[in-house]
Amino acid sequence: GEEVAQTPKHLVRGEGQKAKLYCAPIKGHSYVFWYQQVLKNEFKFLISFQNENVFDETGMPKERFSAKCLPNSPCSLEIQATKLEDSAVYFCASSQLGGNEAFFGQGTRLTVV
Amino acid sequence: AQSVAQPEDQVNVAEGNPLTVKCTYSVSGNPYLFWYVQYPNRGLQFLLKYITGDNLVKGSYGFEAEFNKSQTSFHLKKPSALVSDSALYFCAVRLADYKLSFGAGTTVTVRA
């Protein structure tokens, strides 16, 4: 596709429940990034992929967060046992191999209650 | 640490007046700098980038930005603002491994 597609747009989970977010990158883009936007507009990098391989996972809280980008499937970000502080907008972005600008999806707003 | 800073939380201008959104950077080596805009309940839209070459970069929707190495700045500008330019603007720098580090954002309000 010509744009990064994220689903769902909104997700509400009770504390302790699992949340799974999906991202279809732009066709032909080799890099996928996940960011978390919290209060005061702060962006936090979570993880990136080069094709299906984890490229940089330095931002991931590994005890509860996991992510995958499998061939011929949307990428996913999964949060096990959600906490109130996980409430945020999660953005996925993709960029071309060797390209410099990343294109962002519309985001998934996760609310943990 | 490589980073960008946006010193103004808010910028208010009248329609038709010039708009400037400030960004300074702290980067070792040559910076890869970007501007993005976020409309309410929407994702980030890419406006423009500086990688190398001309210091004046032109982007989408009539925006431009000037890279100033001596002042370590990359201010976003538009000669004549529109009400529809009201949004949240983010400056960003590309770090190692291609991830972006964002500024805190500047809310632009253009009044009719």
Q: 3-class DSSP state for residue A52? A: coil
CB contact under 8 Å between B99 and A56, yes or no, is yes
Is B42 within 8 Å of chain A by CB? yes
Q: Which stretches of chain B score pLDDT less than 50?
A: none
Q: Which residues of chain B make contact with A48, given a CB cutoff of 8 A?
A: 97-99
Q: Which residues of chain A make contact with B5, given a CB cutoff of 8 A?
A: none
Q: Which residues of chain A make contact with B36, given a CB cutoff of 8 A?
A: 104
- Tokens 């949004």 found at: B87
Is A31 within 8 Å of chain B by CB? yes
Closest chain A residue to B88 measured between Cα atoms? A41
CB contact under 8 Å between B98 and A33, yes or no, is yes
How many beta carbons lie within 10 A of that of residue A82, not counting itself? 21
Beta strand pairing status for B10-14 and B106-111? parallel
- Ordered per-residue pLDDT tens for chain A, 113 residues: 689 999 999 999 999 999 999 999 999 999 999 999 997 788 999 999 999 999 999 999 989 999 999 988 999 999 999 999 999 999 999 999 766 799 999 999 999 99
For A106, the closest of B34, B42, B105 (CB atoms) is B42
Q: 3-class DSSP state for residue A40? A: helix
Euclidean distance between CA atoms A40 and A21, whole angstroms: 22
Beta strand spans in B10-70 (E): 10-14, 19-21, 24-26, 33-38, 44-50, 56-58, 64-68
- Tokens 């808010």 found at: B10
Q: What are the angstrom distances between the C-alpha of B52 and each of A9, A36, A80, B29, B96? A: 36, 29, 43, 12, 17
Phi-psi region of A72 (alpha: psi -120 to 50; beta: other; left: phi over 0): left
For B100, the closest of A41, A102, A105 (CB atoms) is A102
pLDDT of residue B1: 76
Which one-letter DSSP state was computed for residue A58?
T
pLDDT of residue B29: 83
Task: Work out how many CB contacts closer than 8 A connect A with B.
Answer: 54
